[in-house]
Each structure stands twice: as structure tokens, then as C-alpha cells.
Amino acid sequence: MISEGQTIVQIRRKIAFNKLRDYLFSIIGLVATLIGFVLLFTLIIDLLIDGFPRLGWQFFTSYPSRFPEKAGILSAWVGTTLVMVVTAATAVPLGIATGIYLEEYAKRNWLTHLIEINMNNLAGVPSIIYGLLALGLFVYFFKFGESILTGGLTLGLLILPMVVIATRESIRAIPNSIREASYALGATKWQTVKDHILPYSMGGILTGMIIGLSRAIGETAPIITVGALTFIAFLPSSPVTAEFPFLSFKWLFDPFTVMPIQMFNWVSRPQKGFHLNAAAAGIILLIMTLVMNGFAIYLRHRFRKRIKW
Amino acid sequence: MLKRRSIQKIKERVIENSLLLSALSSIFVSIAIVFVLFYEAAAFFKGVSVWEFITGRQWTPLFAQPKFGILPLVSGTLLVTSIAVAVALPIGLIVAVYLSEYAPFKIKEVAKPILEILAAVPTVVYGYFALLFLTPILQKFIPNLSGFNALSPGIIMGIMIIPYVSSVSEDAMKAVPMHIREGSYAMGATKFQTAFRVVIPSAFSGIAAAFIIGISRAIGETMVVAIAAGMMPNWTWNPLEPIQTLTAYIVGVSLGDLPHGTLEYQTIFAAGVTLFLMTLFLNILGFWFRKRIREVY
């Protein structure tokens, strides 16, 4: 850059310019990073202004209604809770088992390679495609209908790659010396996995699971595709019954709605009153997401600090 | 003793095989996705010619005189995606350079979780925000902006996918070995020069993969556009008009009550196949780029 004919003044000017550009970029970078923060902040303020007055006891204990001021999210939050139970019951065992297999058991062969590529690809499939899969497979082929079971399974498959990736990363962080120590004492492979690998990687797995579930709570599109109703003025049948065997799984096959669908329904209506309800539902959704993600970030931070191999 | 050991061996075998079965389930999911989409779409293409589908400029499947040209939905999808990408790629890259090369540790510790949360906010909330907050503000500056339009959801979607672009790009930049940077600093280069002339070119494959992931996210994004972009198939490149994307069409039809097995029911699978092929192509491209990173170092 510096040729012979340049005077010392020109060189100094050039250095000053480079330094200034460096400094300016550090400001631009900070501003760009803050854009996301500003959006999040504005979003929260906007929701609070519109929706906060609607947040009362009545909002949580009422069914949807034609009158915005009487409407509530009872069926939506109950539906979300039950769907999440099914989602967790699908994605967590399947995801952890897949992660353990790929990290601890799988040989380096074409099948393992295929499973890995496939997992990466599934993580990139748009969520609404999972909705179409569920519509064809769960609703019509397995005849589960437009039920809580269908919704939960769909979201379970959707977050499966996230649980698998979290499990693998956290298992990979365990040094080989731990495994060797276990084998040296005569433990079998499964004993090593069950008593050492799994407990030590639980922090990371838990983090991935919570982040996955927080994603599932906010997912709307695939649930609309499988035909969750937007107007449900009753609750699914109770999982606990008075007679033997005290547990009932009839709720799995009941129609349902979830929080984001209720919010979508209210946003799509022209009346201002329903928009306020949508904002209130949005606040609840946002709080759930923030709490779950915050907890996951805290867990990760804590486990990262505590474990030093 | 011997018996106990053989029982143990059987147990180990059973466990290994059931773990393998779980791992294989993801392959079954992929097969099921392809099968369901193509099975229903094949039924659709019995009634509609493929040529009409990919060249037709009118999409009115629910009218008395139905027209099945996918182009308006594709143009709507690409229009919103280009707006989102125009926002997300430059900002995402700047954020990645800043976090990887400039930011002090403290800022990084705070910025990364916030970016993560940005990606975790339910998209239906972003849709609300685009329709009821951003569009009215934009209308003050652009008077002929329609209440439903491609611009506002495009911008919100762009900000929404910044974290996807920035985190993968940042990982790629971090993978550039320190001695390459040190070489540049030793020659008297500033951080800016090092970042843009040394680190970014070295991390090119990873950044390209990040961009592709961002584009693929934008194409598949559903709720923001379903809420704020309108539900009107529109063969246009004007961001001020209402449009409909492939994803929004699927949502729009699913909200109604379409009988199983009708041509109208099959249209959502035809739209789904189109969407799936678009994202699959991008995912493969992204995978190819990411594989190249590993080969370099």
C-alpha cells in the first residue's frame, strides 16, 4: 500500500483513516447487534400496552367467545399443556436414544453417515411440511383424527433433531478417560452409558430439551395443518378418573386448540377488541418462551462452569 | 456365572438394537414426508397437467373455474424472501464480524443469549407485530402501502432470521485459525482490514452456508406472512401489494374444512412439494458448503 513517493504526512493520514474506519465499524457492529434487541424491546412494550389490561383471572378461565371482552384462553392453555406432554414423551426418549446410538454405538459406516445427513436435512425442513406429513400420516392413515395425540406427535417429530443435536454435543464433551475407567472396572457398554455417560451429559440434554419444547409451544403452522380447531368451548376429557384404573387416555383423541392458534385467530379478526386479546395471548406466549429459554441459558451456564474434566 | 454373562450379553444386544431402531426412526420420518407429499401430489397431477402447474400465472383453485398455476405463490414467496434476505444477510454478517472480531467478552456474553431469544419468539407474535405495529408505521411514510403487503412481514422476517445467519457465520469465522489473523496484524493491518480481507475470505464456505440457511428459513416461514401479507395469490414483484406465499396458502386452506381426497385438498400437497423441493435444494447446497469448511482446515 505504501509506495516510495508518499510523504510521511500522507502515510500518517492513511493510518488515521484506517483507524477511523476501524472505530466506525465497531460502532456499526454494535448498532447492528442492537437491532435485534430493539425489536424485542419494542415488541414487548407494544404487546404490554395493548394486552396488559386484558390479563386478569377471567382471561385465563374463560372459553373463546364472540364477544372479545368475555373471551379467554382456558381451552388454549389446557390444550398447549396436554400437547406438550405428548411432544415431550415422543421427542425426549427418541432423541436421547438416537443421540446415544450415534455417539456411543454407531460404527463409521454408510448407515451412520446416512442417519447423520438425514438428521441435518430434517432440521432444515420447514415446519409446515411436518404439518402436511402429519395430515397424511397421523390424521388419515393412522386415523388418529384431529386430536391432541396427532398434534403432540407432529411437534415431537419437529423438535426431534434439536434434542438429538443437544444430546450428541453434550455426550461428545465427555472425555474418553471416563469411558475407559468404566470399562477397566468391568462395566459393559450399557452400564457405562447408563451410569456415567447419561448422568454427566444430563445438563446439556436438559438444555436442548427445554429449548426444543419452547420452540414447540410457539409453533403454529403444523398444528393448523393437522386441523386444530380455533373455536373450542370445552375441555378435553380428564386424564384422572374416579373409577379404577384412575387414569384415562381418552383425552389423547379429543379435539383441541393451542395458545398460538388462539392468538392467530384473534389477530385475523377485524375487530379491535380481538386484537387486544391477541396481544394478551402474545404476552403469555412470550413469557413462556422467555422463561424457558432463560432457564435453559442459565442451566447451560451453570453446567459449563461446574464441570471441569 | 457363565449363565449370568450370557444373559448380560443378550441384554446388551437388545439395548443396542433398540437404540439403533430409534436412530432409524428419523429415516422413517424422511421417507414418510417424501411419500405423503408425492403420493397426494401425484393424485393432484392426475387432474392437472404439470405444465399448467409450473407455467400458469393464475392460482384460483377454490373458484368455480379453477386455475392451477403455481407461479403467483412462488413469486409471492420469492418476493417476501428477497426482502427478508436483503435485511438479514448484511446485518447478520456485520453482527457476526462484530461478535467474532471486535466485541469485548462482556458484550458477547449478553448479546448472544438475546440473539438466541430473538430466534425463539413464536412467529405468530412476529406476525401480530408486523400487521398491527410495523404496517401502520410504514403507511405513514408510504401512503399507497396496502394494509396487507409483502414489505412489512419481509422486514420483520429479516430481523427474525438475523440470529440464524450471524451464529453460523460467526462459528465459521471462529474456525479460522488465529495465526492467519496474526499474520495480517503483523503486516500492520487494522481489525477492519483483517476481518474483511482475511477472515471473511477464509471463512467463505461457512458464511455461504449461513446465508443459505437464512434463505431457506425465510422460504419456509409461515405465520408472519399468513398474518401480515394477505391471502391473495398475486403475480407481482411490487412489495406494497398484498400477496400470498406457498406456506400461507397451505395455512389458508387448512383453516377451512376441505374434505379429504378432493382436488382442493390435494392442492396443499402440490404447494407443499414445491416448497419442499425449494428448501431441499438449498439445504443440499448449504450442506455442500459446510462440508467444504471441514476440508480447508
Q: What pLDDT, in 10s, does the model give residues B73-95?
A: 999 999 999 999 999 999 999 99
Cβ neighbours for B242, distance < 8 A, ≥ 6 positions apart: B146, B147, B148, B149, B150, B229, B230, B231, B232, B234
Phi, psi of A16 (to 5 degrees): -60, -40
Question: pTM (2 decimals)?
Answer: 0.90
Q: What are the helix (H) ranges across chain A?
A: 8-51, 57-61, 74-100, 110-123, 127-134, 148-172, 176-184, 189-192, 198-218, 221-225, 259-267, 272-306
Nearest to A13 by CA among B183, B286, A21, B81: A21
DSSP letters for A55-71: -SHHHHH----SSGGG-
Which of A18, A105, A188 has the CB atom closest to B19's CB atom? A105
Same domain membership, residue A146 and residue A21: no
A1 assigned to some structural domain: no
Closest CA to A298 of B117, B123, B166, B125: B117
Nearest to B116 among A47, A157, A293 (CB): A293
Range B71-296 classified under CATH 1.10.357.10:
no
- A217 touching B, CB under 8 A? yes
| One domain for residues A131 and A170 | yes
Asked if residue A86 and residue A36 are part of one domain, the reply reads no
B176, B200 Cβ separation under 8 angstroms = no
Q: Is residue A29 part of a domain?
A: yes
Looking at residue A300, its pLDDT comes to: 80
Contact B250 A137 (CB under 8 A): no
Contact A137 B121 (CB under 8 A): no
Q: What angle do CA B145, B146, B152 make, to 5 degrees?
A: 70
CB-CB under 8 Å, B222 with A39: no
**All three cell numbers of A25:** 465499524
Taking only residues 56 to 85 of chain A, the set having a beta carbon closer than 8 angstroms to any beta carbon of chain B reads none
Q: Say whether both A186 and A40 belong to one domain.
A: no
Q: By CA distance, what is B257's nearest residue in A?
A: A227
Where are the alpha helices (H) located in A52-147, listed in sequence order? 57-61, 74-100, 110-123, 127-134
pLDDT tens digits in sequence order for chain B, 297 residues long: 667 778 888 988 999 999 999 999 999 999 999 999 999 999 889 888 888 888 888 888 877 778 888 899 999 999 999 999 999 999 999 999 999 999 999 998 888 888 888 888 999 999 999 999 999 999 999 988 888 999 999 999 999 999 999 999 999 999 899 999 999 999 989 999 999 999 999 999 889 999 999 999 999 999 999 999 988 888 888 889 899 999 999 998 888 777 787 888 889 999 999 999 999 999 889 888 877 765 555
Query: B28 in the Ramachandran plot: left (φ > 0), alpha (ψ -120 to 50) or beta?
Result: alpha
The sign of the dihedral angle between the CA atoms of A31, A33, A37, A43 is positive
ipTM over 0.85: yes
The number of distinct structural domains making up chain A is 2
A115/B40 CB distance under 8 A: no
Tell me the C-alpha distance between B87 and B97, whole Å: 16
The shortest C-alpha distance from A140 to chain B (Å) reads: 8
Same domain, A275 and A230: yes
Contact B251 A221 (CB under 8 A): yes
- Give SS3 for B159: helix
Is the backbone peptide bond immediately before A199 cis, with ω within 30 degrees of 0? no
Q: What is the distance between the alpha carbons of residues A33 and A38, in angstroms, rounded to a whole number?
A: 9
Region of B177 please: left (phi>0), alpha (psi -120 to 50) or beta.
beta
CA distance A29 to B190: 15
C-alpha to C-alpha distance for A221 and B285, rounded to whole angstroms: 26
In whole angstroms, give the CA distance from residue A36 to residue A31: 9
Same domain, A135 and A20: no
Q: Which amino acid is at B160?
A: M
Q: Which of A193, A130, A196 shows the shortest CA–CA distance to A162?
A: A130
> pLDDT of B3-13, one tens digit each?
777 888 898 89
Alpha helices in B204-262 (DSSP H): 204-220, 223-228, 246-255
d(CA B168, CA B210): 5
Nearest-CA distance B138 → chain A (Å):
15
> Do residues A281 and A218 make contact, with C-beta atoms less than 8 angstroms apart?
no
State whether residue A297 sits within 8 Å of chain B by CB.
yes
Q: What is the pLDDT of residue B117?
A: 86
- Of B30, B26, B28, B70, the closest CA to residue B51 belongs to B70
For position B200, what pLDDT does the model report? 93
Q: Are residues A13 and A84 in the same domain?
A: no
CA gap B10, B22 in Å, rounded:
19
**Is B23–A264 a contact, with Cβ atoms under 8 angstroms apart?**
no
Residue type, B86: A
Which residues on chain A are in Cβ contact (under 8 Å) with B13?
A: none
Asked whether residue A79 falls in the same domain as residue A174, the answer is yes
Asked if A48 and A60 sit in the same domain, the reply is no
Residues in contact with A18: Cβ distance below 8 Å, sequence separation at least 6, in sequence order: B190, B192, B193
Closest among A132, A129, A300, A277 to A209, alpha carbons compared: A300
Contacts of A119 in chain B (CB under 8 A): 26
Same domain, A123 and A97: yes
A48 has a chain B CB within 8 A of its CB: no
In order of A102, A144, A161, A171, B76, the CA distances from A107 in angstroms are: 8, 37, 20, 16, 45
CB A48 within 8 Å of CB A54:
no
Domain boundaries, chain B: 2-47, 71-296
C-alpha cell at A231: 373455536
In angstroms, the CA B247 to CA B233 distance is: 12
Cell of A112: 451412520
B122 vs A39: CB contact, 8 Å cut-off?
no
Looking from the CA of A41 toward its CB, the CA atoms found within 13 Å total: 5
Residue A115: give its domain's CATH number: 1.10.3720.10
C-alpha closest to that of B150 among B208, B67, B82: B82
Instruction: Name residue B220's amino acid.
Output: G
CB A123 within 8 A of CB A161: yes
- CA triplet B254, B256, B259: central angle to 5 degrees? 85
In this structure, is residue A218 part of a structural domain?
yes
Do A42 and A111 lie in a common domain? no
Parent domain of A97: 56-306
Structural contact between residues A73 and A54, judged by C-beta atoms closer than 8 angstroms: no
Backbone angles phi, psi at A247, to 5 degrees: -120, 135
CB atoms within 10 A of CB B152: 29
- Domain-located, residue A253: yes
Smallest CA-to-CA distance from A160 within A123, A112, A210 is with A123
Kindly state the cell numbers that stand for A218: 410457539
Q: Do A45 and A113 reside in the same domain of the chain? A: no
pLDDT by residue, tens only, chain A of 309 residues: 556 667 888 888 988 999 999 999 999 999 999 998 899 999 999 999 998 988 888 888 888 888 888 888 888 899 999 999 999 999 999 999 999 999 999 888 899 989 988 988 898 899 999 999 999 899 888 888 888 999 999 999 999 999 999 999 999 989 999 999 999 998 989 999 999 999 989 888 999 999 999 999 999 999 999 877 767 777 777 776 666 666 677 778 888 889 999 999 999 888 888 999 999 999 999 999 999 998 888 888 787 766 665
A148-157 burial code (b ≥16 CB/10 A, e <16): bbbbbbbbbb
